[in-house]
Structure 1
């Protein structure tokens, strides 16, 4: 439970965490507080969404939907990894949230299955970020985009002295059957392609919060395939564990573990 960040605090927190930020005109005054008579805050956590659309910034910031006035989130995250601040006040992003889940977010304990019998308005108490993705389980979040998402969530948690337990997805809070965020991720740090889950996002935010805000995850090293190499032998010699061959395959998008040729450039995860 905390007081919502001011524009200056938003800027400072995201800059310190290494998030690339732009500001949509009017974001410091845009919100639904006056229209609803309900002020934003106190805040309890960060709620993550996907847009189910492309070129979605303007609709999130000012256009909204026929059934839902803008702003539709506090921030928008593009494929490039750039976060655009669109509002620092009350936004229409969370809808009805299960009260038992909100209680768990406040306590930073494992999130339970939604009890739909008792709800609260999540717009009152959760920061929201809309991440540009079709949500069709085919459209991939870029490396830059996922890295920015981890940094964004961590920046808010670090500012409020929260842990990663204050990070949630719309699918975890909503009593209306929401499924976001979901979809494949190109990779993160030394990790290859994986599926976006809130458990993984919280793990990555937790890891980030163990380091200074200036920290960056490890990056892959380069290796040139020589005659006789297999992914198992490369993993054994370079990573010290042949069983890590699949990490190399995933990191390089290899579907056939034996389909490597001399001279081929591979990225290797950290030891």
Structure 2
């Protein structure tokens, strides 16, 4: 079985521009590169990762593809194209698709002043180019409004595969439930929509354990099924509330009720299929 971390990042503050990353970010306000992650992947037994964009820029995407060229553990790259400029987006997709590990697109929609940015006609046209190319869309859902958009996108862009990052940040710290639970179920009713069991530690806050995550993870399993869920560490953002080993260990604890085959799906099989990651030779 190929074990996949379906959501991690790299950034270099000397060579790249990340306006959202300021000194207020504390421990993650520095450069993070492969040499720091590799031993942590080995300790957890992770074979491949999905390297996900950290900025809406070609420069960030190009840097990630260069990392993929240099490191075999990067099984897929989720980059960026300007979906709101659909003609340019289509041209960029055609160019990036030539790279064998270019596997999807994300946009930091939560940083857009317009909470309905993703429903703009120009963006919908850009997403249609994405669907035509057979590439999926990582959905950043921070507000309930963002999660509400998922079924709308599924209807307006037939054939577009989507994956909701971080289970749309459930209200774990507050021990809340609605409207998150109902909106997630509504999104899961769309067969082309998947979700990442990732970023939950930062939603839970300090002192969290797998027991805190369990109700939210179990709800995700109920509405999506293991075959549409994938584990992600969200490293290095995870360092805001723990470390790689804790996220790996406690997420497995939260999913301990699954069968062996179901765990194999969440911790590798789903991501490998979704992003087209090649199996690791036995």
Give the TM-score taking structure 2 as reference length: 0.27
Asked which structure has the greater CA Rg, the reply is: 1
Give the TM-score taking structure 1 as reference length: 0.27
The structure carrying a bigger helix percent of its residues is 2
